[in-house]
Structures are given as C-alpha cells and as structure tokens.
Chain A
Amino acid sequence: MDKTNIVESKHVMAKENPYLPSVAVVKKTIKETPNIISVQVMLEDESERDSFSFKPGQVAQLSVFGSGESTFVINSPASDPSMLQFTVMKVGVNTTAISNLSPGERVGIRAPLGNWFPCQAWEGKKILIVGGGIGLAPLRPLIFHILENRKKYKDLTLLYAAKTPDDRCYKADLKQWEASKDINLAQTIDTACHGWDEEVGLCPHVLEKMKPSPEGTVAVTCGPPIMIKFTLEVLKKLNFDSSHVYTTLERRMKCGVGKCGRCNIGEKFVCVDGPVFSLEELEKIPEPFI
C-alpha cells in the first residue's frame, strides 16, 4: 500500500480539529442477526454531506455522545456517500448504545479514516473474497465496487462463512448475489442444520476444498481473528503469493489519525497505515498481527 493513498484522503484531514466529529442523523436500523444490527446515517450538514466521499475499506469513528467512540468500517457502497451504513455487534458499552439507536437520533462521525482496498490495481484480475460473520462488512463496499464496475474485473467469487444460517449478515444482499451471474457465491455454516443445502464446515476447510486457482487472482479476507489466521494459511498452501493476498485488520483505535498510539502492530498504525494490508506487508512486521 503506497503512502500517497493516505495523503489523498481528505475529509478528516481537511478539518482543523481532527477530534471534532460531524453530526449525523440515524435514518434506518436493520436487524441483521440476533446480536448484530446495521445503522444507516446521513450527515446533518448539507454542505458536508455534498463534499463527503470515501473509498471501499475506509473506516469511521462512530460515537453516541456520552457512550464513546468506536471504529467501524463504512460498509455501504462508496458510490453513494450520502448514506453511510455501519454494522455493529452488540458486545460492549458503545456497541450497545449504537444497537439501541432509533431513526432521528444523532451520532458523531469522524470519517473517512485509514487506507482502502487498491481496487484500481486489481483491475483485470479475478477476485476471491473470503468473509466470516460480521467480517463481511468491510468486504461489502468492495463487492459493490466490483459489481458496479463489473467489466473491469474477471471472475468474482465470495465464500461467506457463518456459525448458523441466522448468523449471516446482509441476507438481502446474499439472496441477490445468489441469483446473480456476476458473482459466484458459496456459503458455509459451522454445523449442518435442517433446510440448509449449501456447504457445511469451517471456512478454511471449505476454501481448501474449493481449491481456487491463484493464477491472476487477488484474495481478500476478513473475519474473526482465528478465521483470518487459518484462511491465510490455506491461501499460502494453495500457492497464493503474499503480495496478492489482502486482509483488513482491527485494533482498539482511539484517535484514528496516528497520534494516540493505541492501534500499533509493530511499527505500523492500523489507523493510518491500514486497516487494509497485504499479507506481504504483514509478514515483514515481527509482531504477530492476529
């Protein structure tokens, strides 16, 4: 990932005070799974909304004032930056506050932060996307980008893994993609259950069985840390070159602009050097990234 990417990213940096959020209004909430919800928000200030843009893979600091800020990827299509969607698993104080939001309520947004998927460099290639659970969120704007620019890419394959059919996010998208010729969708769940006629088994195992060819292919993965770890191992085993394997990482970020020191992996800061990293880059860092 070349560093010029970061300099181009304008919105937060253009502000004199990078800690001051923009106010956004909740427009819609969607229950994805029993403990995961998506919130769609719109920047309140019209001129800010008009000048806002982001790229697939970039993140935001989303805050409920009084509960605090947390980092989430913007998972709606980058082609429509007027509405921003975030997907949140209810696990802590802030994610609970976000899960309890209703349309009309105000939140704070500091975005876009971090780098993005180098989609342009991938043009002309086959794209293999491997997502697990809520880890499909950062991959979603990438999928939309490829679908919107379908002719620029060769085969697009998505392997999506979840614990149970109910634990899958974006069920409406999945249904559409299942019917689409533009994307090959494979889905797997951890253990067999009634009415499920797709793959059964852990994501890395299913991937190994699928045996995708590394030839002219870029692989992108995101999911729980343990899934990323084993998926990367399988990709290596399938002879994918580290420079063609990408992942997007998470750390407990605070400032989002490379000051607070919280999100380092070795000498890299996830907030400015990432969250998108190639495996080649990660292999050079002595500190484990999982």
Chain B
Amino acid sequence: METIYTLKKQDLKPWLESLAQDSDVYVPARDRDNSLVDFFNLSEIKDDLGFGQGQEKRYVLDLVEKTKRSPKQVMYPHWEDLLDFSYEKDPENIEDEKIKLSVSQEAPNSIIFGLKSCDCQAIAKMDAVFGQGIVKDPYYMKRRENTVLISLGCDTVFEDCFCTAVGGSPYGFDHTDLGLMEDGDHYVVFVYTKKGNALAQASNSYLAKADAKDGQDYKSRMQERGRKASEKMSSMWPKTAVEDMAEHLNKAFDASQWKKVSQQCISCGACTFVCPTCYCFDIRDDKDNRQGKRYRCWDFCTSYLYTLEASGHNPREDIQKRYKNKVNCKYNYNFQRQGHLYCVGCGRCVEVCPVDMDIRQIVAAVLKSKQP
C-alpha cells in the first residue's frame, strides 16, 4: 500500500495511549529493577511495574535496545486454557456421572508497538505453523487476527544480531502492518496491510498524510537506510546460503563435532523461552476435586523430559541428540516442512544463554567439519 504518513515524536506516546482505550497496547519498557527491556501492556504498566510520576523514562519507545523476550506471548501465551471440564452427577440417575466440557477463549484486540523486522518475520513463521497444515489452531488464530503489528526499522546493529545471515534485513517490513522509520523530530509511517491502513485512518488526529513527493523521498531514504544497516550487519556476520542449509545439515548429521559443540548445554531452555520462532508446547490437565482444566504451555526440546516416554524409553536421551534436534529444527526440518528457516537472526538466544553458547558458531563449526 502506498499511503505514507508522518507522526511527530512528541505525539507517539499520546497516540499509543489513545489506542490503549480500545485495545491492549504492548510497548517496550524497562522493568522495575531497571534490568531488562520487554513488551508490557501499556494500560497495566503502572500496576505491573510500579510506574509512578516521573518514571516515564522507563518507556523505551525509541527502542534502540533490543527487548529481552520476543513478543510472541501476545498471540501465544506461556499458558493458555484449552478447555474446562467438570464432572456432573445426573439427577435422574445418581450413579451416572457425566462430563461437561466448555471452551472460553479470550482474544482481545491487541496492538504491538516496537517490533523489529526480525520479530515480524518470526510472527509470519508462527502463522505458518498455527495457520497451515492439516488443521488451523483456533486459539492462536483468533488472537492473531485481532493483533496489529507496528514495527520500527533498525539502524543499530547489535553484536548478537544476524538477521541478514538468515534471509532477513533490518528494514524488512514485509510482515508488518505499519512500519516506522525514525526521522529527526518525527517518524515516517509506512502502511503495508489493510489492518495497518484501518489503524492509520482511525488515527488521523496523530498521523498526517505525506504528499506524493515527500512520500517518494521517504521511501528511497528508507531503502537506503535499510541497505546501509544490512551492509553493516553482513560485514559482521556473512550471509548464509539459506537454501543449502538443510542439505548441508543432513550431510553433517553424524558429524563428530556435534558432541563437542553440544556438551556445554545445560538444558535450561532459556533460548527457547526468548526465541520468537520456537513454538513447541505441552498439554496438561489440572484438576481440583470434580472440575479442572486442560491447558497448554510452552515446552522446549533440549529438555530430557520432552521425548521421555512413559515406558522409560527416551529417543533423545543425551544432550547431543537434543541439541542436534534443536539446530536441525531451526535450519533444516522446518525448512523442509515450511520452506523457510525457523531462525530470524534476532540473537536473543545468544544473548540469554547462561553458558555462552552461540548458535551461529555452532552451525558454522558443524558445517565446516563436512566441507571438503
């Protein structure tokens, strides 16, 4: 879509606050201990984080820093009820106890502000898992349909970033609804989807339409900035031949390097927790007396319990097998299933790992071992 708007920087917060009247608006903010930046619900931010007067600086709306976690939990919460059940006695026949099942699902209108292009790419990959295949996932899809994504182009390249190595780019706005470019005392707002268009039109007291000439200028500047940031990142971490990764990893499946590169892993799951594309879950029941619920919660494949069967048999009993599965899932298996890598190069797993494992180095080491 061609329409381009501008937004004064001073209007950003009032705009988001106005949007928060009808939607849950998630924005990057610093937590109470000032220790991390994460996505928080704007209307709950004061209660949750103890924001008082004069603590506005905790909002990180310019988002030069990277959020610790990805925004996936907005559409795919850590825990989510799938159904409620209750055992109910039949009044006609007291011996007979029936089961009543019900589903109540919340899918509030949500807006996520401050995603980076890697986050948007990741959401597109989540959409493929939950929205395609033999059946759609109604819980995810309902939340997703009600969510609008507003992202911000990246000019700052962090040490852990490597989106260009896995097919992304710092100004890759292709899966966002609205894309923002910081420009002096204002933001340039690019509209990409119908959802984005509707939001922009409803925000006419904050957004001003750019005329055609300015629009053209903004567009070429955005492309230029994207090119620059991409170049900078590519120089730090060279582009991988994405299409060949699956084949190379298949060939390297039995490489002896796996043992060495995976032995550090302590199976803590932190990488999965912050990863924007990790989507695995467990389904569990919780019962209190005669009623309860079935819920799902995130799960992680480096855990011993992940594949442990009730019989005691475990197809991936050692960390080498589990870590190899994780790497292959991201760069091989999902490429074969979905046609794209399940890594967007956000670098969160590299940053969070308590034992300093770097998936980039690991993939490189394994692939190198198989090269002639």
Inter-chain contact A257/B134, CB cutoff 8 Å: yes
Residues of B within 8 A of A68 (CB): 283-285, 294
User: A104, A105, A287: which has the most chain B beta carbons within 10 Å?
Assistant: A287
Distance between A290 CB and nearest chain B CB, rounded to angstroms: 7
Q: Is the CB of A264 within 8 A of B101?
A: no
Instruction: In the complex, identify which listed stretch (A88-96, A158-166, A209-217) lies at the interface while the others stay far away.
Output: A88-96
By the criterion CB–CB under 8 Å, are B85 and A262 in contact?
no
Bound Cα distance A91, B85 (Å): 25
User: Count the B residues whose beta carbon is within 8 Å of the partner chain — how many?
Assistant: 53
Closest residue of A by beta carbon distance from B286 = A66
List chain A residues, Cβ under 8 A from B103. Answer: 17, 20
Binds B, one of A73-81, A192-200, A231-239, A248-256: A248-256
Contact present for A13 and B134 (CB under 8 Å): yes
A95–B250 Cα distance when bound, in Å, is 37
Q: Which residue of A has the minimal Cβ distance to B95?
A: A104
Residues of B within 8 A of A65 (CB): 85, 87, 99, 285, 287, 292, 294
Cβ-based interface call for A50 (8 A): no
On whether the beta carbons of A6 and B134 are closer than 8 Å, the reply is: yes
The answer to whether residues A254 and B281 also contact, given A65-B287, A66-B292, A264-B325 and a CB cut-off of 8 A, is yes
Bound together, the chains give a CA A21 to CA B102 distance in angstroms of: 11
State whether A260 touches B281 (Cβ < 8 A). yes
Q: With a CB–CB cut-off of 8 A, which chain A residues contact B129?
A: 259
B96 CB within 8 Å of chain A: yes
B residues with CB within 8 A of A: 82-83, 85, 87, 95-99, 101, 103, 129-130, 133-135, 137-139, 250, 253-254, 279-287, 292, 294, 296, 299, 301, 306-313, 315, 325, 328-329, 332-334, 336-337
Closest 7 CB pairs of A and B: A66-B287, A92-B310, A261-B280, A286-B253, A267-B333, A267-B336, A106-B99
A–B Cβ pairs within 8 angstroms, 11 of them: A7-B134, A9-B134, A18-B137, A19-B139, A68-B294, A106-B98, A251-B307, A257-B133, A258-B135, A261-B281, A272-B134
Q: What is the interface of chain A, defined by CB distance below 8 A to chain B?
A: 6-7, 9, 12-13, 16-21, 23, 63, 65-70, 89, 91-92, 94-95, 104-106, 108, 224-225, 250-252, 254-255, 257-262, 264-267, 272, 286-290
